[in-house]
Amino acid sequence: MTFTAGSKLRASDLNAELGVTVTHAPNDSGTVNSTAYVGTRTGGTNPVGTSFVAPTSGKVLVHWACGLVSAAGNATATMLVSFRLGQGATVGGGTQVLAPADTRAIQHAGTTDQQAGRTSLVTGLTPGAVYNVQLMYRGVAAMAVGSVEITVQPTT
């Protein structure tokens, strides 16, 4: 796309030009009760993720955010939200390149609502190859997850 002086620039046009991909599920809550990372929430949009083409640098920034609250009002409830990166265009599919990890997760415990986000640099991707990212959840005591989103941004 060519941008010209005086023309309107929409975020979607710029994102498409730069190769940025965004997936979100606003006001979409679901619950999770699993000690292992899972890619689905009961009652929520499943899966939440996007596919992208790796830039020439082989590096992307993955940004993800969500709202978290204890669905049971349990002060000992804990929720972690990370992401999985796989090969191919099918969200949640393909050979896993990067597994979800507690060290790379949004974490929440307790009964108060929390909005949080994180960013992670992913390197070593094959330029021009297609990959996918998917939000993954691990929680106990039926934590609720809502307003989730994940963005992939190419970087140098």
List per-block mean pLDDT (blocks of 10 residues) for the chain, which spans 156 residues: 67 58 62 88 83 93 85 70 96 96 88 86 96 90 73 88
Domains of the chain: 23-155 (2.60.120)
pTM of the entire predicted model: 0.82
Q: Which residues, other chains included, contact 127 with Cβ-Cβ below 8 Å and sequence gap of 6+?
A: 54, 55, 56, 57, 58
The burial class, CB within 10 Å (0-12 / 13-18 / 19+), for 139 is buried
**Pairing of β 30-38 and β 114-122:** unpaired
Q: What share of the chain is helix, strand, coil (3-state, %, to 5)?
A: 5, 55, 40
Dist. CA 52–CA 65, nearest whole Å = 18
CA distance 20 to 60: 9
pLDDT at 25: 52
Classified as helix, coil or strand, 16 is helix
